[in-house]
Every structure is written in structure tokens, then in C-alpha cells.
Chain A
Amino acid sequence: MTFEQARDYLLQKARAIGIDAEVLASHRRELTVQAHGGRLEEITQATQGGVGVRVVAEGKTGYAYTEERTPEALDWVLAEAHENALLQSETGGFLPAGSELGRHDLLGEGLSAPLEQKRQAALEVESGLRADPRMRQVQMTRYSENETQATLGSTQGVSGAYRNGYSALMAYAVMGEGSSLKQAFEVDISREFHALDPGRTSQEFIRKTGRLLGARPLKTGRYKAYFEPEAFGQLLAVMGMFMLSAKNVLEGKSLLSGKIGQQIATEIFTLIDDPTLPDGLASRPFDSEGTGARRTVLIENGVLRTFAHNSETARKMGVENTGHASRSYKGVLGVAPTNLFVEPGQGVKQDDGIVVTDMMGLHAGANPISGEFSLQALGLKVEGGEVAYPMENFTVAGNFLELLSRITALGTKLEWHPMMGIVGSPMVEVAELSFAGA
């Protein structure tokens, strides 16, 4: 059975038993070529796909999915989803009315290139890394590509499909100088294979990691912080999106609850999510409920304008749906950003403080419910406007909302990084934060 056939089979069965259903089928193809020691050590070729349903019966919602596309498996899926729905006591569930959304191709010929060029790209990243005498070990370098086709359909008339994908170069290695060692991971992503540049990936790795060699401990204290775009993006991905999710607001988990229209950040801070950016890696024509893509200003000049909504959260809060529904075939309806970014500012002048280049342990050290974070970090000490030396074995701690209200300057250049979604940020200067070290 094809994915379209599976979708139609489920919708027809759902209609027959009189329940509403929304079917999301997606499948993807992956190719990964991994180099090590001047040869290709691992190649992965894959196809994976599945079908997930959300059903609404008597105003109650349930889910089920399968990767096995047989009538027996699909029947089980519908029966389980129906049974799961009836466990709910709340009866406000519904599926949004929809329409024909068309078929879209965001990828085009982006991944078209001979296999040999892709193998060479992985090998070139490695040789580029090894050219630096400070390179101690290269764990692996990788070329990876991913192509996804998603199909959506519902008993309420939603119907649409799109194809998307990306190619990426990755480097994972250890640099050393004397007894100082630093391990890092670098990734470069593009929708176009030909836009990747192995030399750039290896040089970026060397630049970012090499500058941290010979790092010294930091004296515990309060310092001005300069977050590099990637580091600030990490915080934003873990903290910001959690708090801005209307689903988390409704579940009493967000510190931003009840703060629409209030100043929650400094006036220079504007946060936007835009799924319509032509080059945005997370761009898409419609969300996972079929709501059309559009730009949303979440925080404008420090004022909270809206949360990110799907149809369910928007109806519950009586506001407009922002089209942020997210669901994988295995998952449940949620809220997720696409291309989320901080608007660049007038520029940051580094005088005295700490440039935070990288943070570790976000899954343990950042609590989006309390807003508090205490994270292992790497960075550079800046004195009198000059980078004095690199630093290690310290933590940076604070509360995310307090941090937003203490931002004093933003860089002029926007940088995009893949996090959970794609996050863009300039350099972010924060007046003062707690640093713990020796």
C-alpha cells in the first residue's frame, strides 16, 4: 500500500464509523557518507515512513500511528486511536475545517549531484581539518542529505502535500595545544548541495575551536556577557519557544502566562517566526493541520504580542491561530516554531566581559518552566576591548526572563543555526550575569 492509499483507506474507514480523522503520512530518504582517516568508513542509505492519525469522536481526541502499511495494521491504528480518544473527559476537541492546499516542492533539484561529489565533500572536510597541526583526533566528518514528503488529509476537507529536504556537512573532532584539549561539533546546512563548501566547514571548525585552546579557569563573579549567535540561539530554542507555546501557557507551564501586551524584554528586542522566508530551512507552505504559513511577530520592541498557536489553543484562548501546529506521524498535536529569529540591532561593542561561545548540558541545566538556567560554558575573556584569553570550566547562570530584560545591545549580523527548528540570532549583549568557576 502506498502512503496516499493508506491515507485514503484510513479516511474512508473513519467516515464509515462516523468519526473525524486527520491523517498525516510522511516518508523520507536519507543518505549519509562518513569519512575517517582519509577513507569512507560508513555509508547509510535509508527510506522511512509512516502514517499517523488524530481522530475526534464525541469531541474527544486520540492518536495512533504505524510504519507497517497493511490493512490489519491500519485497522488497529484506527481502533486504538478511537479507544484512546474515549479516555478523555474533556469534550472540546475538533478538527479544523480545511481546503485543497495543493502540492508544493520546496526542494527542487537541490540534492542533485553525483554520489562521487558527495563522497568527496565528506573527505575534503576531513583533510581540511587535518591540515591544522593542532588537530588531535577527527572523530568523523560527514555529508548527509534528507528528503521528506509529507501528505496531509482530513475528513474535514484538508488535503495537501509538500516535499522538502536539505544537505549538510558535519565535523566532529578534537583540537589540542599542550595539555589543553577541546572537542567540538560543526554543522553547515543548505537546501542546495552546491551551496555547501567543505573548506568553509573545516575552517569554521578550526576558527571556533582553535581560539579556545589554552583556556584558563574563570574567577567566580558577575560579568557582562556577550552571547554569540549560536549560544543565544541555544537558550532561545530551549527556553523561549517553550514559554511562547500557547499549549504550555494553557497547561500552566509558562512564565509568560497572562503577559500579552506587557513589556517582557528590553525595547530593542524583537522576536519573529517566519515560515515564508524563501531561503528558510524550516519554511513550509502550511502547518501540520493545514493552516497556511505566515509571518508572526511574537515579541515586538520588548512587548509580548502573541503566543504561538495551533487551532486548538487558539480556540481555547479565543484568539487568532498563528499556524504553528506541529505533529510528526508518531507524535501528537503540538506547537513549534519554524524559522525563529531575533531582529538584528545597532551593533555590539565589546569592552569588558565574557564572550559566551558555546553552552553545554541544556537538557539538564536549563529549566523552561522556572526559567532558570545554570550551564557549563566556554568563552573568551574580553578586557579593554580586546580578547585577552579563552576560558573553560565555568558556568553561566540566571533567569531567562531577567536576561531578556537586561539585553543592552544586539549585533548587526543575523546568523542561522539548526537547533530544534532553525534559530537565527545576532550577537547579544547582556548587562550582567552570574559566572561560577574557580
Chain B
Amino acid sequence: MLAEALVGEVLQKARVDGASYAELYVERWRRRALRVLSGEVKEATSGIEYGAGLRLFYGTEVVYAYTNDLSPESLLEVTETLVKLKGSAGQVDARGRGGLDFRRTVAQGLHAPRIPFTDRDKRYRLERIREAEAGAQVGPQIKQVQTNLLEWDQEVLVATSEGRWAEDRRVRTRLYVTAIAQDESGMQTGVVGPGLSMGLELFDHHPPAEVGRKAGLQALTNLRAKPAPAGTMPVVIGNGFGGVIFHEALGHLLETTSVAKKTSVLSDKLGEKVASDCVTYIDDGTTPHGWGSQEFDDEGMATDRTVLIENGVLQSYMVDRLGGMLTGYRPTGSGRRQDYTFAPTSRMRNTFIAPGATPKEKLFEGIEYGLYAADMGGGQVRPGSGEYNFGVKEGYIIRNGRIEEPVRGAMLVGKGPDSILKIVAVSDDLETSAGMCGSLSGSIPTEVGQPHLLISEIVVGGQA
């Protein structure tokens, strides 16, 4: 996307002017978004996003600039401005202005699409969306079906003053169906949104009609659901998107972004027992076609499979370059950012609880009264206090070990990693699910996952 000579000149200029490390990130995205509401195309949009971010390190102090004027004059001027902002001009590096000898690493196409962005016309996309809409019509109470199809094709180049030159291409596709059911009791929704790092072959992995049907059924379930009860009780959390609880309650606390500043309650706990024995927690950037997979992170490091917690014992954090410098931990290829407008920080990729040995049915046995959170919505955490919350999208009462009537509007809340210690059993039916995670470096695609599991007690917020 940019000439090697220009990239070399920018990075060297920064080094000469006193930066200890310089990194240039360049990207060009093409995106398409289609929103269809009950048969009507509401909005169809296409776009090109194009820009560069230059990050300079002065030890562990960082200056960052971004622009979408990528002309040589502009890039060199940006570099000049940054150096001035730092106000450390004069510390001239003796190494001079010679060219950089880049070691080129190009992605192997591990997550490459079979049906790329340019393939198939827009009518084809529309037809598949109509299948999702038809699938969602599971009852006369379904009043509206909204389907979003998102297609991203992102080319990335990361070059550094240490001679790293990494090129990656990330193609992602997501189908997102919202079914709205309505009767005299009110309006309720069902939402299903599979996404993978691939092209339109997503439709083979997640047939649109099936995605629609699931959304429709969930809306109907919520329509006949009663308000959730309130209080502290045992909860079985469903597989797949249920993993969002650990994304919030555990994952974010293991990013060096908070760990380095000791604003995470899990700082300085490597080798310590932080969860019950049945919990093994993994962040894997290499899962083929995983929604959060990429061959290189946004600092140009190869991504890896990081075992964070093994049998309850903390093994690793998620480490980006700056986090690695501040903590001494080895970078794990976890530096990620929404786009060129953000400097990268340590982030999750595809994060999941590994399968355990308990059959799913056993989890429910012995529960006199509890909640089955079959599907979850999003959540949030404050790493410094450990307080977290997440919404239940589809829930049922468990009575004497049996799954009974549906309930809606439950929110699970907790504080500190205590509730991780209260995971008493993990089943063997691991599933993963796509989500968007928002944090300091913006909103990025991440996958969450887990098998069904049992938490001995947690606060359920509902109607008192």
C-alpha cells in the first residue's frame, strides 16, 4: 500500500529525531453494509476507509498520530509534528539516515475467503437475506424482522524501525438477524448474529434460514416469558455466547493494559489459583476463520494461542508491545485496534473456556431453584473493582433439576473474581460465538465461547 522507501524514510526520520522505536500502521478497508427490514432494503452502503497511524516510543512514553492523507509530504510532516509534540528534539541518533532493511512477512491466507468481497452480485446477497427473514417467521406474533449483512475486506501493513514488515488481509462477514414479536403483552426481541473470518461462504456454515429461525423462536420465547426473579441463586450458563461472562469478568482483567498499571485485581497473580480446578481459559488468535482470528496482530506480531488459565491456575496475560515493556512479560500477539485512528493495546481474540468432563444434564441435577441463562447479551466490567454485569437474552427457571418456564430481563451481576471461583462444573459441549468488544483501542471483533457450565451462586437482577 505504501512504497518501502517512503516507509523506511518515515521510520528512520523518527529514529533520528530521538524515538527509541517507530511503528507505521497502514490500512485500506472496503466495507459493505446492508440493512433489510421485513423485505425492504432500508439502507445499503459501501465505503473505503484509508489511513495510517504512526506510533513513536521514547522508552515507555508514546506519541501517536494518524491521518488519511498518505502522500509522502503529509506523512513526513506528521512525523515532524509528532517529534515536536514530544519536545525531545536534539537527541540525535548517531545511526544516521540509512535505509531500513525490512524482513518481509506476508500472511499465508490461513483465514482467506473462498467467496471474496467482489464475488456474487448484490441481488445474491439480498436473496440470502430473504431466506433469513422467511426463517424468522415462526409465528403470527413476529411483526418485524431486521437483517444486517456486514462485509469487511481489510488490507493491513505494519512496518517497524526494527525492520519488521508484516502484511495481512482480513476478510470478515457477519449476518445479524433481529426478530421482533408483539402481542397485547408488549414487544420482545430475539437476536442471532453469526460472524466468521471468511467471505460469503458464511452462509454455508450458518444457513440464513436457520439463523432467522433461531432469532424468531427466541423472540417468541421472550414474548411468553415472565419477568425474571430477583435474588442470589445458582445459574447454569448456556454454551456459545454464554462465554461473554468470562470475557467480561476474567478476560479484560488479564490484558496488560490494566495489569501493567495494576488497575486489574488480577495483577501480579501468575502461578496463583484464580479460578476453580475445572476452569481452563484460552485466548487463541489462530483458530482457522475465527471471527477474532488474524495472522498478525496490529503491531505486526504473529498471533498465537495463549493459555491464560489452566485448571484454575493463572498461566499468562494477554500482552502487547507496550505492556510487555512495562511488565516484562513476553508479547503474545495481542496488540489490536479498531482501525488507524487508535493506537493498539492488548486485547482478546477468540477467547473460550475449554471443555470439561461433566455431561450437560448433570449440571442441572440438584438445583432446587435457579436460572438457566441459555443465551446471553453483552456485558461490561470495571477491571479496577472487578464489578461486572451481563444481560440474559434467553432465560428459564430451573426447578428441581428441570428447565421450566421462560423468564426475561434478567441481568447477572458480580464483583471481583469471586464468581470465577464459584464455577463448580463445566460440561463438554464447547461452542463459540461472534461479538464486538469495545475498549481503549476501539471496537474490535472478538469471539467468545464456552461449554454449558454451572455457577453455584450469583446475583440475578430482575423484578422484586
Which residues of chain A have a CB within 8 Å of any CB of chain B? 36, 39-50, 52, 61-68, 73, 76-77, 80-81, 83-85, 87-90, 115, 136-137, 139, 173-174, 181-184, 220-222, 251-253, 255, 330-333, 360-361, 363-365, 367, 369-376, 392-397, 434-438
- In chain A, what residue has the closest Cβ to B414? A393
Contact of B143 with A by CB under 8 A = yes
Contact of B208 with A by CB under 8 A = no
A-B contact list, 23 entries, CB within 8 Å: A42-B343, A43-B64, A48-B66, A65-B45, A68-B48, A76-B48, A88-B40, A90-B40, A137-B261, A181-B265, A251-B146, A330-B47, A364-B389, A364-B391, A369-B180, A370-B187, A374-B228, A395-B389, A395-B461, A397-B227, A397-B409, A435-B464, A436-B460
Distance in angstroms between the alpha carbons of A436 and B415 in the assembled complex: 14
- In chain A, what residue has the closest Cβ to B231? A220
Distance in angstroms between the alpha carbons of A84 and B149 in the assembled complex: 13
* Contact, CB under 8 Å: B459 / A393: yes
* Contact, CB under 8 Å: B61 / A47: no
- With known contacts A374-B461, A436-B461, A183–B45 Cβ distance under 8 A: no
- With known contacts A360-B387, A364-B389, A435-B464, A46–B67 Cβ distance under 8 A: yes
Distance in angstroms between the alpha carbons of A68 and B48 in the assembled complex: 7
Q: Which of B67, B85, B261 contacts A48 (CB 8 A)?
A: B67
B409 contact set on A, CB distance < 8 A: 367, 370, 372-374, 397
Per-residue CB contact flags for chain B residues 356-397 toward chain A (1 = under 8 Å, else 0) read 000000000000000000000111101111111111000000
Distance in angstroms between the alpha carbons of A87 and B32 in the assembled complex: 13
Contact of B462 with A by CB under 8 A = yes
Distance in angstroms between the alpha carbons of A220 and B228 in the assembled complex: 13
Distance in angstroms between the alpha carbons of A422 and B445 in the assembled complex: 28
Given contact pairs A41-B60, A73-B50, A252-B144, enumerate 8 new A-B contacts (beta carbons under 8 Å): A46-B66, A252-B143, A252-B180, A360-B387, A363-B378, A370-B409, A393-B415, A397-B461
* Contact, CB under 8 Å: B50 / A434: no
* Contact, CB under 8 Å: B379 / A45: no
Looking at the assembled complex, report how far the CB atom of B88 sits from the nearest CB atom of chain A, in whole angstroms.
11
Q: Which of B60, B69, B86 contacts A47 (CB 8 A)?
A: B69
- With known contacts A44-B343, A332-B43, A434–B63 Cβ distance under 8 A: no
Contact of B263 with A by CB under 8 A = yes
* Contact, CB under 8 Å: A84 / B50: no
Distance in angstroms between the alpha carbons of A52 and B389 in the assembled complex: 37
A222 contact set on B, CB distance < 8 A: 464
* Contact, CB under 8 Å: A370 / B189: yes
Q: Which of A76, A183, A437 contacts B385 (CB 8 A)?
A: A183
Contact of B37 with A by CB under 8 A = yes
- With known contacts A139-B261, A374-B409, A395-B459, A65–B48 Cβ distance under 8 A: yes
* Contact, CB under 8 Å: A41 / B144: no
* Contact, CB under 8 Å: B51 / A392: no
Contact of B115 with A by CB under 8 A = no
Distance in angstroms between the alpha carbons of A369 and B262 in the assembled complex: 39
- With known contacts A77-B48, A87-B126, A395-B411, A361–B180 Cβ distance under 8 A: no
Per-residue CB contact flags for chain B residues 45-63 toward chain A (1 = under 8 Å, else 0) read 1111111000000001111
* Contact, CB under 8 Å: B82 / A63: no
